[in-house]
Amino acid sequence: MKVLKTGAAVAAAVALALTATACGGGTKDGAAGSSGDAKKDKVVIGIKFDQPGVGLKTPEGKFTGFDVDVATYVAKELGYAPEQIEFKQAVSAERENLIANGDVKFVVASYSINDKRKEKVDFAGPYLLAHQDLLVRADDSSITKAEDLNKKKLCSVTGSTSAQNVKTKLAPEADLLEQGGYSECLTGLENKKVDALTTDNSILAGYAAQEKNKGKFKLVGLSLSNENYGIGLKKGDKDLQTKINAALKKMVADGAWETAVKNNFGPANYKNEPAPQITEGS
């Protein structure tokens, strides 16, 4: 009889475990089960780590910049607190891969919307309209327009649309050097290894405004292209696209967008365009 009782107890325990599993098994990343009230664990967001004013990881390990503020606001609207955000470096050439491989939930990394990129990823937004410009040394008066780059050394980052725009349309004889990050280009500019750095004026303004760079560089003041920054996400994820668009609209409406612009770009006297209309996904 003792053996029978033990067997019955084991059977009851197994049945109870099976019932619990069927009613409310765990879900990936702490997502809510059938009750819907379990909290999400974290969200991984791709940003730039080397763009002052836009996306920067400081030596202390903090993250600052306009894109960081936008990403944090959007994450909040998706249900994530700041401490649940994991920022992952998204260099220009790897943004599509990070999204496609599921390494990030979305990318907020001075990511200009264009048709070629939209073949691989979807976008929400846009959330900022920037213009391509040139950064040169403060004492250089030889470059006042894009055509002046012919026969000169131009630097940008691998995967950037800015350098190709100059090389193919504006200064085909420019000697183009592509680096892994803008910091390398800036070092080359300071050391006279290159004559100009090209990318969006928002990014250039952030570099020029850094305390260590004040007086060293200047913006030429051109508008070589329109760059609509969007938030990149996995192709076909319409639900996430809709939620992010709603978050961006709310950020503009409640004044948080304007505050972020002033906090991050104001020191460089950057003249921003008004918040653009949301066009992706509509």
Residues 6+ apart with CB under 8 A from 206: 51, 52, 53, 54, 56, 65, 264, 265, 268
pLDDT tens digit string along 225-249? Answer: 888 999 999 999 999 999 999 999 9
How confident is the model over 147-168, as a mean pLDDT?
A: 88
Task: Encode burial over 167-184: b for 16+ CB neighbours within 10 A, e otherwise.
Answer: beebbeebebbbbebbeb
CATH, range 131-219: 3.40.190.10
Q: Which amino acid is at 106?
A: F
pLDDT tens string 88-115: 999 988 999 999 999 999 999 999 999 9
Q: How many CB atoms lie within 10 A of CB 152?
A: 17
In this predicted structure, what is the pLDDT of residue 17? 44
Query: Measuring CA to CA, which residue among 33, 12, 32, 8 is closest to residue 22?
Result: 33
Query: Mean pLDDT over residues 183-204, rounded?
Result: 93
Neighbouring-strand partners of residue 43: 85
Note the pLDDT of residue 183: 85
Residue 73 DSSP code: H
Name the band, by pLDDT with cuts 50, 70 and 90, for residue 203: confident
Answer whether residue 212 shows pLDDT above 90. no
Angle between helix 66-77 and 256-265 (nearest 10): 160
Task: Tell me if 43-130+228-268 shares its fold with 131-219.
Answer: yes
Type of residue numbered 158: T
Virtual CA dihedral for 142, 143, 145, 151, nearest 10 degrees?
90
Domain ranges of the chain: 43-130+228-268, 131-219
Q: Give ∠ CA 6-9-13 in degrees, rounded to 5.
A: 140
C-alpha distances out from residue 197 to 17, 177, 178, 218, Å: 63, 10, 10, 11
pTM, entire model: 0.74
pLDDT at position 225 is: 87
Residues 10-49: pLDDT tens digits?
A: 444 444 444 444 443 333 343 333 223 335 699 999 999 9
Helix (H) or strand (E) holding 43: strand 43-47
Name the CATH superfamily, with its identifier, for domain 43-130+228-268.
Answer: Periplasmic binding protein-like II (3.40.190.10)
Residue 221 has pLDDT above 90, yes or no: no
Element (H, E) at 250: helix 238-253
Is 51 in a helix, a strand, or coil?
strand
- Residue position matching structure tokens 């030596």: 59
Interatomic CA distance for residues 10 and 231, integer angstroms: 53
* Contact predicate 221/135, CB 8 Å: no
Instruction: Give the pLDDT band of residue 198 (cuts 50, 70, 90).
Output: very high
